[in-house]
Amino acid sequence: MSKPSTVRYLKVWIDDVVATDVSPGDQQTLMSFYEHIVKETARTRVREATYHTDDFAGVATHYLPGFTLTVRKEVHNEVPMWRGEFLRDEQRLEVLAMLDDY
């Protein structure tokens, strides 16, 4: 099988998650949103971007409005990784992930 030609077809592998005052159900919803955003951001040359869930139509906006997501590209041992941080008041969800073949 040939390798995918764009990052859009790569899988987001979650390496670490740290949650503060975010329920497991809300974490799952935010993680789905995060995976989508990482794929979209990785397609560009952007190294850091900030998104607001209120700016998107869909599950994260409908169920979890008011979150800000900052996504930052980092390199660990020559492997590009994506660090994400969701914030809303006292709630915080930090995620570290990388893109790879299925």
pLDDT tens digits along 47-84 = 999 999 888 877 555 678 899 999 999 988 888 899 99
Is residue 2 one of the residues assigned to a domain?
no
Task: Report how many domains make up the chain.
Answer: 1
pTM score: 0.82
Contact 82, 97 (CB under 8 A): yes
Percent of the residues in the chain that have a pLDDT greater than 70, as a whole number: 85
Domain that holds residue 35: 7-100
Is residue 27 one of the residues assigned to a domain?
yes
Is residue 1 one of the residues assigned to a domain?
no
Is residue 50 one of the residues assigned to a domain?
yes
The total of other beta-carbon atoms located within 10 Å of residue 56's CB is 16
Q: What is the CA radius of gyration of the chain?
A: 14
Task: Please state, rounded to an integer, the average pLDDT across all residues of the chain.
Answer: 85
Q: What's the rounded Cα separation, in Å, for the pair 32 and 67?
A: 14
**Distance set, CA 48 to CA 23, 24, 51, 101 (Å):** 26, 26, 10, 23
Residue with tokens 């077809």: 9
